[in-house]
């Protein structure tokens, strides 16, 4: 069993190609089976953050979390979303915020097509 968290996230992402920022964001999540990028809502113009070219992105994600022994109720997983997202990619320079829209128990991760 896993926990599926539908989330609006605001993140700062390191970019290589400043001309195609949305493609950079899609590529960031394409290789991670635990995060599905559902929609990109906003993308800022490129800026320098900690000496690297970055963009700020607001997007709708589905994040799959493993069960944690300390979580006794499904709402306990709300606090696991932010650190999980932060650990999923070295190209995320900073997670600014996460807003959990819904949590659900699922039997396994959905296959990506």
96-105: pLDDT as tens digits: 999 999 999 9
Q: Can you list the alpha helix ranges (DSSP code H) found in 10-95?
A: 21-30, 78-87
Question: Where do we find the tokens 């070295």?
Answer: 90
> What total number of domains does the chain contain?
1
Closest to 32 (Cα-Cα) out of 54, 64, 73: 64
Rounded Cα gap, residues 67 and 47, in angstroms: 37
Reduced to 3 states (helix: H, G, I; strand: E, B; else coil), residue 4 is strand
Q: Is residue 64 part of a domain?
A: yes
Q: Is residue 35 part of a domain?
A: yes
Domain boundaries, position 7 = 2-106
Model's pTM, two decimal places? 0.86
Q: Is residue 38 part of a domain?
A: yes
Structure-token pair, residue 21: 């920022």
Q: Is residue 113 part of a domain?
A: no
**Residue scoring higher pLDDT (57 or 111):** 57
| Tens digit of each residue's pLDDT (9 = 90 or more) over 47-81 | 999 999 999 999 999 999 998 899 999 999 999 99
Q: Is residue 36 part of a domain?
A: yes
């Amino acid at each position: 069993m896993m926990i599926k968290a539908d989330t609006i996230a605001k993140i700062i992402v390191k970019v290589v190609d400043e001309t195609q920022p949305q493609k950079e964001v899609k590529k960031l999540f394409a290789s991670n089976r635990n995060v599905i990028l559902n929609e990109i809502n906003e993308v800022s113009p490129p800026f320098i953050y900690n000496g690297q070219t970055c963009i700020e992105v607001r997007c709708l994600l589905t994040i799959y979390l493993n069960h944690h022994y300390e979580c006794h109720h499904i709402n306990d997983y709300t606090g696991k979303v932010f650190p999980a997202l932060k650990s999923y990619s070295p190209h995320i320079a900073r997670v600014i915020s996460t807003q959990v829209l819904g949590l659900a128990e699922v039997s396994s991760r959905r296959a990506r097509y």
